[in-house]
Amino acid sequence: MSVENHYNKTGYVVTKAVASTNKYGESSFNESESAAFDCALQPQNGDYEITIQGKVKKVSHNLYCATSISVNAGDQIKVDDIRYRVLAVLDDGGRSHHYKILLEKVS
Protein backbone atom coordinates (compact mmCIF):
# COMPACT_ATOMS: atom_id res chain seq x y z
CA MET A 1 0.00 0.00 0.00
CA SER A 2 1.47 3.36 -1.02
CA VAL A 3 1.63 6.40 1.21
CA GLU A 4 -0.83 8.26 -1.04
CA ASN A 5 -3.56 5.89 0.11
CA HIS A 6 -3.22 7.42 3.58
CA TYR A 7 -3.65 11.05 2.47
CA ASN A 8 -6.84 11.96 4.32
CA LYS A 9 -6.40 15.71 4.81
CA THR A 10 -6.17 18.85 2.70
CA GLY A 11 -3.32 21.25 3.36
CA TYR A 12 -2.17 24.69 2.22
CA VAL A 13 1.33 26.17 2.35
CA VAL A 14 1.28 29.72 3.75
CA THR A 15 4.28 31.87 2.82
CA LYS A 16 5.21 35.44 3.80
CA ALA A 17 6.67 38.10 1.56
CA VAL A 18 7.84 41.58 2.54
CA ALA A 19 5.18 44.06 1.43
CA SER A 20 6.93 47.24 2.52
CA THR A 21 9.60 48.57 4.84
CA ASN A 22 9.29 51.85 6.70
CA LYS A 23 12.03 54.40 7.35
CA TYR A 24 12.95 52.61 10.60
CA GLY A 25 13.64 49.33 8.81
CA GLU A 26 10.48 47.65 10.09
CA SER A 27 8.82 45.41 7.53
CA SER A 28 5.19 44.55 6.95
CA PHE A 29 4.32 41.27 5.29
CA ASN A 30 1.73 39.82 2.95
CA GLU A 31 0.74 36.18 3.28
CA SER A 32 -0.10 34.00 0.33
CA GLU A 33 -1.69 30.57 0.37
CA SER A 34 -0.86 27.78 -2.06
CA ALA A 35 -3.34 25.68 -3.93
CA ALA A 36 -4.81 22.83 -1.87
CA PHE A 37 -2.84 19.58 -1.70
CA ASP A 38 -3.56 16.13 -0.28
CA CYS A 39 -1.64 15.08 2.80
CA ALA A 40 -1.61 12.96 5.94
CA LEU A 41 -1.12 14.63 9.32
CA GLN A 42 -0.06 12.69 12.40
CA PRO A 43 0.74 13.82 15.93
CA GLN A 44 4.33 13.12 16.93
CA ASN A 45 4.58 10.12 19.23
CA GLY A 46 6.83 10.78 22.20
CA ASP A 47 9.22 13.67 22.63
CA TYR A 48 11.11 14.69 19.52
CA GLU A 49 13.13 17.88 19.45
CA ILE A 50 15.38 19.37 16.83
CA THR A 51 17.80 22.29 17.02
CA ILE A 52 17.39 25.07 14.48
CA GLN A 53 19.81 28.00 14.52
CA GLY A 54 20.73 27.21 18.12
CA LYS A 55 17.12 27.01 19.35
CA VAL A 56 15.50 23.75 20.46
CA LYS A 57 12.10 23.20 18.86
CA LYS A 58 9.62 20.49 19.80
CA VAL A 59 8.09 18.61 16.88
CA SER A 60 4.34 18.36 17.47
CA HIS A 61 3.22 16.75 14.19
CA ASN A 62 4.48 15.01 11.06
CA LEU A 63 2.93 15.71 7.68
CA TYR A 64 3.33 13.50 4.62
CA CYS A 65 2.75 14.80 1.09
CA ALA A 66 3.96 14.54 -2.49
CA THR A 67 7.38 15.99 -3.36
CA SER A 68 5.70 18.19 -5.98
CA ILE A 69 4.64 20.56 -3.17
CA SER A 70 6.82 23.66 -2.85
CA VAL A 71 7.53 24.06 0.87
CA ASN A 72 10.51 25.25 2.91
CA ALA A 73 11.52 25.42 6.54
CA GLY A 74 9.99 28.56 8.04
CA ASP A 75 6.82 28.39 5.96
CA GLN A 76 3.54 27.52 7.61
CA ILE A 77 1.09 24.79 6.67
CA LYS A 78 -2.61 25.09 7.36
CA VAL A 79 -4.70 21.94 7.87
CA ASP A 80 -8.28 22.06 9.20
CA ASP A 81 -7.80 25.81 9.89
CA ILE A 82 -4.90 25.05 12.26
CA ARG A 83 -1.47 26.45 11.46
CA TYR A 84 1.82 24.63 11.87
CA ARG A 85 5.34 26.02 11.42
CA VAL A 86 7.55 23.97 9.10
CA LEU A 87 10.68 22.99 11.01
CA ALA A 88 12.22 20.65 8.42
CA VAL A 89 11.35 19.08 5.08
CA LEU A 90 12.72 15.55 4.67
CA ASP A 91 12.78 13.36 1.57
CA ASP A 92 11.35 10.36 3.42
CA GLY A 93 12.95 7.24 1.99
CA GLY A 94 15.40 9.23 -0.16
CA ARG A 95 13.74 8.54 -3.50
CA SER A 96 11.80 11.79 -4.06
CA HIS A 97 8.61 9.80 -3.52
CA HIS A 98 7.10 11.82 -0.66
CA TYR A 99 8.06 14.37 1.96
CA LYS A 100 7.97 13.93 5.70
CA ILE A 101 7.58 17.43 7.10
CA LEU A 102 8.34 18.11 10.76
CA LEU A 103 5.89 20.63 12.21
CA GLU A 104 5.39 22.77 15.30
CA LYS A 105 1.78 23.74 16.07
CA VAL A 106 1.33 27.52 16.24
CA SER A 107 -2.46 27.97 16.39
pTM: 0.85
Q: Is the pLDDT of residue 2 over 80?
A: no
Each as own residue / partner, the long-range contacts of residues 4-10 (CB below 8 Å, 24 or more positions apart, any chain) are: 4/38, 4/66, 4/98, 6/40, 6/64, 7/38, 7/39, 7/40, 7/64, 7/65, 8/40, 9/38, 9/39, 9/40, 9/41, 9/79, 9/80, 10/36, 10/37, 10/38, 10/39, 10/79
Categorize the per-residue pLDDT at 1 as very low, low, confident or very high, splitting at 50, 70 and 90. Answer: low
Looking at CATH, the fold of the domain delimited by 3-105 is given as: Thrombin, subunit H (2.40.10)
Q: Is the pLDDT of residue 78 over 60?
A: yes
pLDDT at 63: 96
pLDDT at 85: 96
Give the tens place of pLDDT for each residue, 38-76.
999 999 988 888 998 899 999 999 999 999 999 999 999
